[in-house]
Amino acid sequence: MKNAIYCFIFLIGTSLNAQKNIYESAKFDALSKQHEVLAILPFLTNLDLKDEVSKKELKRRAKKEGYAVQNALKTYFSKRKKKKKFLVDFQNTKNTNAILSKNDISYENIDIYTIKELSEILQVDGIISGSLDLNILLSKGVSDEFNFIDFLLGDANFGRIGMKISDGKTGKLLWKYEKTINKKSGKNTNDMIDRMMKLAARKFPYEKERKKDRKRKTKG
């Protein structure tokens, strides 16, 4: 019984903490009114690994982690979309990456393009992008067992992820979510994204339930 209570308190606390790390533009409804399709970009990754590798290898690993997050988000959104939970569609990431490649836009130079430029090239209404700071290779998988020694030494955290949604027409930031990545975040990239998004589900702006919440607040 006590374990169940502790678990419940932990989940509530984690959910509240997730909401504190979420920003939503006051103009979200107005700017996203015509949104139908969003594109998911590979996340820009910064790796700070303990093992020594060449700069070339570090860049290769960072790129792999960035694309792993893109694929994990695609998987999560696809599952939710099948349940008709979203108000928008998401461009197939294979198509996104192919279109970018045809326009000579790579993982290495995508950051020099504006949201408006990328949206026009991809022919989408909005862009989902983000950043990833890691001291481990999350895509390879990690142990989710809690180690008190790691906690005391400050090794419990693996990094941080920041996800944002921007309006394609204006380039303005519509929504942002930041979260620390630790041993409780998940065993791998897919697990981490799945848990992260579930915690933020009630705050994800394109969720049907979230739109209902906004309407209730407006009427109130």
- pLDDT: which is higher, 85 or 213: 85
Task: Give residue 133's domain range.
Answer: 2-219
For the stretch 22-72, pLDDT in tens is 999 999 999 999 999 999 999 999 988 777 778 888 899 899 999 999 999
What average pLDDT does this structure show over 195-211? 80
> 208 pLDDT exceeds 80?
no
Calpha distance 12→189 (Å, rounded): 23
Backbone angles phi, psi at 161, to 5 degrees: -125, 140
CATH number, domain of 74, equals: 3.40.50.10610
Give me the number of domains the chain comprises: 1
Q: How many CB atoms lie within 10 A of CB 78?
A: 12
Using the CB atoms, write b or e for 127-141: b if 16+ within 10 Å. Answer: bbbbbbbbebbbbee
For the stretch 124-151, pLDDT in tens is 999 999 999 988 878 877 654 444 444 4
Residue 84 burial (C-beta neighbours within 10 Å; 0-12, 13-18, 19+): exposed
| 181, 161 Cβ separation under 8 angstroms | yes
Helices (H) and strands (E) in the chain, counts: 8, 7
> 83 pLDDT exceeds 80?
no
To which residue do tokens 């570090």 refer?
58
- CB contact set of 51 (below 8 Å; sequence gap of 6+): none
**pTM: predicted TM-score of the whole model, two decimal places:** 0.81
Q: What is the mean pLDDT of the chain?
A: 81
Calpha distance 185→147 (Å, rounded): 14
For the stretch 90-123, pLDDT in tens is 999 999 999 999 999 999 999 999 999 999 999 9
Token pair for 166: 């921007």
- pLDDT: which is higher, 70 or 4: 70
Backbone angles phi, psi at 210, to 5 degrees: -65, -40
